[in-house]
């Protein structure tokens, strides 16, 4: 597991909350950061994923602190109704299921336990369990690693490939939107179907990022419409893109990204072949 530890401002940004909110949640017993000898708060990636889950429970489910503590302490009993359908659902209903449920179904079909998947991907069992039930809290990096482990893609899990092949006309502003699994990142589908190119419009809130590097087969093209984007290739090559800038690279190179603008960043992102 990643042993990087983040200060409170970094952790708050990655979780999509303010430092004061993070301190409040600590006082409410929802999160327990690491304390240095001088009293400084430090947070691991597991802490950050927990913070994202807390934020989702507060904002989407409207749970109070006591209910959140109970849900986190007894995870198997916490089942969000909108994203945890019954296993008895048929195939037609299944195409509209959440990404978390689809991954759980793939895991069951493969005969894998949460512990087995955790050991193979480096994602903690608690995060995997929470994601399967809520479809919330995993970074783009972690989600891509899970999809790759099960021999699928994020695009396929999102339902993008459910449409017919050959042609796709999407009017301005009528884009389908990937289920939101990562804080601050909205992915809109510009071409539906099982095509040779995956065409997306990314809207990134301030501070949104991949939260780590990932790689896959293929090639990628990025064109920035507004804002600024930082791309890191191979862990040591940094590229800052502004409005009107384009960037093309091989997807097999480890790559990570973040919105480096103080406001929203909007960009076009194309992958070929469809391996994202």
Length of the chain: 276
How is domain 91-158 classified at the CATH fold level?
Answer: 434 Repressor (Amino-terminal Domain) (1.10.260)
CA distance 223 to 263: 17
Sites in the chain below the pLDDT cut of 50: 1-2, 75-96, 164
In this prediction, residue 12 carries a pLDDT of 87
41-43 and 219-226 strand pairing: unpaired
In this prediction, residue 1 carries a pLDDT of 41
Q: Which CATH number fits domain 163-272: 2.60.120.380, 3.40.50.2300, 2.60.120.10, 3.40.50.150?
A: 2.60.120.10
In this prediction, residue 165 carries a pLDDT of 54
CA distance 213 to 238: 13
- For residue range 15-37, list pLDDT tens digits in order: 888 888 898 899 888 999 998 88
Closest CA to 80 of 92, 96, 64, 98: 98
CA distance 193 to 55: 33
Q: What is the CATH number of domain 6-74?
A: 1.10.1660.10
Half-sphere exposure of 159 (CA within 13 A, CB side): 20
């Amino acid at each position: 597991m990643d042993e990087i530890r983040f200060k409170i401002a970094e952790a708050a940004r990655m979780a999509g909350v303010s430092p004061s909110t993070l301190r409040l949640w600590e006082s409410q017993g929802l999160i327990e950061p690491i304390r240095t000898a001088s009293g400084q708060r430090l947070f691991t990636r597991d802490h950050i994923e927990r913070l994202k889950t807390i934020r989702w429970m507060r904002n989407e489910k409207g749970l109070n602190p006591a209910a959140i503590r109970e849900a986190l302490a007894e995870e198997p009993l916490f089942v969000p109704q909108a994203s945890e359908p019954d296993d008895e659902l048929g195939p037609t209903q299944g195409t509209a299921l959440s990404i978390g449920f689809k991954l759980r179904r793939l895991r069951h079909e493969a005969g894998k336990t949460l512990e087995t998947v955790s050991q193979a991907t480096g994602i903690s069992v608690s995060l995997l369990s929470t994601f399967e039930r809520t479809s919330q809290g995993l970074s783009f990096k972690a989600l891509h690693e899970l999809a790759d482990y099960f021999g699928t893609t994020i695009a396929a899990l999102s339902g993008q490939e459910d449409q017919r092949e050959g042609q796709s006309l999407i009017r301005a502003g009528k884009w389908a939107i990937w289920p939101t699994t990562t804080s601050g990142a909205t992915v809109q589908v510009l071409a539906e179907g099982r095509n040779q190119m995956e065409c997306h419009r990314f809207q990134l809130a301030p501070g949104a990022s991949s939260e780590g590097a990932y790689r896959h087969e293929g090639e990628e093209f990025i064109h920035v419409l507004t804002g600024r984007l930082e791309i890191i290739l191979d862990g040591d090559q940094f590229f800052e893109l502004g409005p009107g800038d384009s960037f093309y690279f091989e997807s097999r190179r480890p790559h990570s990204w973040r919105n480096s603008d103080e406001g929203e960043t909007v960009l076009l992102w194309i992958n070929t072949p469809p391996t994202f």
